[in-house]
Amino acid sequence: MENRLQLTIDGRTVWVAPGTTVAAAWVDLHAPAIRRSVAGQPRGPLCGMGICYECRATVDGHPHTRTCQTPCRDGMTITTDR
């Protein structure tokens, strides 16, 4: 697809427009839950600006990446602990 970025999110392939954040790509693909809290509760993005750490996931092997602060790049692999 022209002018689209290809990502792999938890094994699924998705295409997004340039400028999309990883958090936005994830929420569009699934429910807003991205991870589990220390007590096992489902959590999703809250602040959208990189301070709450609720949207963190493993991006290209980097754990605890704040996905709301991470623009999508072509070929990116995202793994969540949903």
Partner 1 sequence: MREVRCDVLVVGAGPAGLAAAAAAAEGGQSVIVLDENPHLGGQIWRPQAAEANQPSRSVSPRAAAAPPSAHAHRRAHAWHQRAQKRGVIFETGMTLFDAPRTDHLLAVDAAGQASAFSAQQVILATGAAERFLPFPGWTLPGVMGVGGLQAMVKGGMAVRGKRILLAGTGPLLLAVAAFLLDHGAHVVGIAEQASRAAVRRFGTSLWRHPNKLVQAARLFTRLRAVPLLHDAWPTQAEGFGRVEQVRVAAGDRCQEFDVDLLACAFGLVPRTELARLMGCATQSHIDGEIVAVDRWQRTTVATVWCAGEPTGIGGVDLAVAEGLVAGYAASGAFKRAGRAARRRDRARAFAERLDRAYALRPALRALPTDATVVCRCEDVTWQAIRAQPTIRQAKLQTRCGMGPCQGRICGPALAFLTRATPAAPGTATQTTTRPTAATTSSHAAGPSTGWTGDRVRPPLVPVAVNVLIGAGQAPLANHQPSPAPSRHQEISL
* Binder among 7, 9, 57, 68 for partner 1 (CB under 8 A): 68
- Phi, psi dihedral angles at 69 (to 5 degrees): -100, 5
Under rule CB under 8 A, residue 75 binds partner 1: no
Binds partner 1 (CB under 8 A): choice among 14, 15, 33, 58:
33
Q: Within 13 Å of residue 51, how many CA atoms lie on the same side as its CB?
A: 2
Candidates 69, 39, 40; CA nearest to 52 is 69
Residue of 77, 75, 56, 58 whose CA lies nearest to 67 = 56
Tell the smallest beta-carbon distance from residue 49 to partner 1 (Å). 6
Report 34-53 residues binding partner 1 (CB under 8 A): 34, 37-39, 41-53
Among 12, 28, 77, 81, binds partner 1 (CB under 8 A): 28
Does 69 help bind partner 1 (rule: CB under 8 A)? yes
